[in-house]
Structure 1
Amino acid sequence: MAADDLPDEVPADPALSASADPAPSIELLAGPLEIVDRITIASNATFVGRIGETEVVYKPIMGEQPLWDFPDGDLGHREAAAYLVSEAFGWDIVPRTWLRDGPLGVGMVQLWQDVDPAQDAVDIKPVAAVPGEGWRLVFEGYDDRDRPVALVHEDSAELRRMAVFDVVVNNADRKGGHILEMPGGHRHGIDHGLTFHEDHKLRTVLWGWAGEPLLPDELARIEAVRQDLDAALGETLTAYITVTELVALADRCEHLLQSAAFPHPRGRTPATPYPLF
């Protein structure tokens, strides 16, 4: 199905334009989508698919499970919106993501990523074995055998940027398993269906920089996103999220620019997702 042939309720993907990265091609990404496997550990219907020789993740909207605070069955739209904001930041956080038709109807499609299984950007370690330099402590607790353990994550530029992105999109589900450790050290973030809520919903394992100043480049990227919300990005996002959510997105950018620091956990919302991984 070509982008021009998408059903009326599915916004054409802005990434599938003449200015987009030519590899994989527009024609390939819009080609026939074949389901090859199911990812059974996912809470929503999630499949491994193939478009030509390109592997993708396919989440049909009809397989989404509504939540009390995300009841509208639009998780795929939020994932596509998260990709657009990621692109506006320019940090390549979210793999290429778009909405299109498929064997089980319209859904989110995302390029498959081959991770490095030897890397762990987020981990739970015995308190006595918590590494120092290069790592950040999130919290300490006890495991199911009453042993003291700690949740830690890398102190890396890639994860800092992801933490900034999560604050801006109000990510309610940044589990450790939603961070993909790529060969070479890059980090991708996935599973962004629980984002952009108008109310504070931030739940993340990346609290290691709470209260610390944002870097000049991080502030500059936030400012660029904020300005783009009044221009092309904001116009495009209205096809994916509500006007109220778009206003809240701009407000979060403004608050970060004014505070110039990573936020602390606040409110009655749990600070971390469950389960952590």
Structure 2
Amino acid sequence: MSAPERIPSRSVTSAELLAKGELTVRGRIREASNAALYCTVTYEGREAACIYKPVAGERPLWDFPDGTLAQREVAAFEVSEATGWGLVPPTVLREGPYGEGMCQLWIEGQPGAELLALVDGEEPEEGWKAIGFAEVGEGKTALLVHADDARLRRLAVLDAVINNADRKGGHLLPAAEGRLYGIDHGVTFNAENKLRTLLWGWAGEPLTEESLDVLRRLRDGLTAGGELAGRLGALITDVELDALRERVGALLAGGRHPEPSGEWPAIPWPPV
């Protein structure tokens, strides 16, 4: 008698785990400006750590509609996935112990990856890009620089697309196998130009061919009836979606990384 055929167990994706799993709150990240809860999520035998940010814990902002930050975090993930760069950890919108909120896979950072530095002098060394001068105490200043890193350059393009108003150093998360993630995307997709970032090192430089190809794919996905447009339509307003299309079109038409507008503080505070 032959042995019964073994049916392999189905692999649970990170998105399924986050969307359908049972959330258990383990603690709170007190440094966060809005309620950010460290949790575990379990589904069909798989367990992972995650961050849950309930809408009820969002602080009102003068320039963003109340109760929309969680949706913007998910929208940033959707755009990141559409680029193919995978720069934002898997993120979903779901119900949790404290109501609807954003749930994002926890990524363990890898120490030792030097992406930012303060240096003496007025010009960065090879392998670094200048951001600007920063006060370091006792009336002294130092040059703030970021690594001339292809992963950061992709993130700079993503930030320009999603109009990220808060790209701080603490939102850069080097991970295993050379991966780099960006986190905390609640203040994105504003219809007005709000770009504030530490990643100004390529300002005014030509976009790479890779970035131009990605922008063309985004443009196609954002057309009326496009798949990406459909997913984002449930997360941001029609006006914000139109502004997103305009930003992608402007980047393609100009072919260069954006430069500070002068109408809005270019670097977030605190920068790290």
Choose the corresponding residue for 1:150, options 143, 146, 151: 143
Residues 126, 148 of structure 1: 8 Å contact kept: no
1:127 CA drift (Å): 1.5
Choose the corresponding residue for 1:42, options 5, 17, 32: 32
One-letter amino acid matched to 2:241: L
Choose the corresponding residue for 1:31, options 7, 21, 27: 21
C-alpha change, 1:25 and 1:174, in structure 2 (3 Å) is closer
Residues 120, 181 of structure 1: 8 Å contact kept: no
The secondary structure found in structure 2 opposite 1:48 is: strand
1:190 CA drift (Å): 0.4
Aligned partner of 1:62 in structure 2 is 56
Aligned partner of 1:7 in structure 2 is none
Matched, 1:183 2:171: no
**Pairwise mapping of residues 105-254 of structure 1 onto structure 2 (< 5 A)?**
105-123=99-117, 125-128=118-121, 132-230=125-223, 231-254=226-249
1:24 CA drift (Å): 3.5
Choose the corresponding residue for 1:99, options 93, 114, 117: 93
1:183 CA drift (Å): 3.0
One-letter amino acid matched to 1:147: K
How far, CA to CA, are the matches of 2:222 and 2:97 in structure 1?
A: 34
1:235 CA drift (Å): 1.2
1:28 CA drift (Å): 6.5
How far, CA to CA, are the matches of 1:246 and 1:69 in structure 2?
A: 17
1:29 CA drift (Å): 4.4
1:26 CA drift (Å): 2.1
C-alpha change, 1:104 and 1:133, in structure 2 (3 Å) is same
Residues 139, 150 of structure 1: 8 Å contact kept: yes
One-letter amino acid matched to 1:73: G
How far, CA to CA, are the matches of 2:116 and 2:17 in structure 1?
A: 37
How far, CA to CA, are the matches of 2:123 and 2:234 in structure 1?
A: 45
Which sits farther off after the overlay, 267-276 or 75-84? 267-276
Could you tell me the percent identity over the aligned residues?
A: 46
1:149 CA drift (Å): 0.8
The secondary structure found in structure 2 opposite 1:217 is: helix
Provide the TM-score with structure 1 as the length reference.
Answer: 0.88
How far, CA to CA, are the matches of 1:276 and 1:39 in structure 2?
A: 19
How far, CA to CA, are the matches of 2:206 and 2:119 in structure 1?
A: 29
Residues 110, 175 of structure 2: 8 Å contact kept: yes
Residues 29, 36 of structure 2: 8 Å contact kept: yes
- How many residues align structurally? 256
1:60 CA drift (Å): 0.4
Aligned partner of 2:257 in structure 1 is 262
How far, CA to CA, are the matches of 2:138 and 2:88 in structure 1?
A: 36
Deviation digits for residues 26-71 of structure 1 (CA, Å, limit 9, x no counterpart) = 2564121000010000000001100122000110000000110013
